[in-house]
Amino acid sequence: MSTRSSNTEAIANATGRPWSQWTKALHEASAAELAHQQIARLAAALMPRDLANPQWWAQGVAVAFEQEIGRRLPGQAQDGTFQGSTTATLPTTLDGALERWLRAVSGLAEFNGQTLTADPAISSSERWRYWRASFSDGTKTQVDIGLKGEKAVVAVNVTKAGSPEMVSEWKSFWRQILARTKE
């Protein structure tokens, strides 16, 4: 079963090469027999010389190709686990958004029916605020808070989920928490 990546149009626009040409070149190079990193290196070698961030686009080509040949499902990481994200925009500062997030999760004994395996880690840089947690089902969540104009964007990223359904359940849970940050 093949799954065409939704990213193929963006890849074609950025690289100036239609997705059909990418797949033809990769098939001719027997990329279906290669590991992910080898496919990414092959794609990088085929990138236009003037392309900004060719390694990032090469990773995208490798993932989309793996999805197309049925090796990987959308949202599936190289290790076989699944990931997904949800976001919210808040009319506040970085620190204000982090404070709202911390209030929204404060006192929770369970998260989506799971418990924390350790206290969440909180860190910051000049431009970002972070909240990271690991849960009893093996999933991990990283919250990235950044600015877009005068507003804070809170991105909740779920990784290490065992299935797409698990990602969906976590995203639904985190949307409820994000709704609390708007109160």
Pairing of strands 82-90, 121-124: unpaired
If asked whether residues 55 and 134 sit together in one domain, one would say no
Look up the pTM and report it: 0.76
> Same structural domain for residues 97 and 48?
no
Query: 14 near 51, Cβ under 8 Å?
Result: yes
pLDDT value of position 3:
53
Query: pLDDT per residue over 75-94, tens digit each?
Result: 888 888 999 999 999 999 99
The predicted structure's pLDDT at residue 1: 45
Structural domain boundaries, residue 18 = 8-68
Question: Which string of DSSP letters, residue by residue, matches 101-135?
Answer: HHHHHTT-S-BTTB-BSSPPEEEE-SS-EEEEEEB
* 166 and 120 housed in the same domain: yes
Structure tokens at 171: 């995203």
**Do 88 and 167 reside in the same domain of the chain?**
yes
> In percent, how much of the chain has pLDDT > 70?
97
